[in-house]
Copies of this chain bind each other. A is one copy, B any other.
């Protein structure tokens, strides 16, 4: 599937004060797992340029299909020892582009 027609995962994170570095490390652990799974295409973690943004971190990733993404997330959650950051609130959902300019 061409990248332009791929699904986009957008995950906007509400990061508790003082937990930015820990949250990035936590995200990297997830990325290390997910980038090896079938259907993964690419990812880009965005950080807000000011510290008062509601979402300090937003991940934008490409996946080939709903099925491969869902399977990868399920597999990740079944892994033992995955760490959590207290108070870190993710908002993941899958998107397609409806307007482009």
Contacts and interface: CB of A to CB of B under 8 A. Distances in A.
Interface in A59-87: 60, 66
A97 B57 CA distance: 10
A53 to B, nearest CB: 4
A14 to B, nearest CB: 10
Contact of A46 (B42, B43, B54, B95): B95
Nearest to A93: B53
A93 B60 contact: no
Identical chains bound together, number: 2
Contacts of A96: 46-47, 49
19 contacts: A7-B49, A10-B55, A10-B60, A31-B101, A35-B101, A42-B101, A44-B99, A45-B99, A45-B100, A46-B95, A46-B96, A46-B98, A48-B93, A49-B94, A50-B93, A54-B91, A55-B93, A58-B95, A60-B60
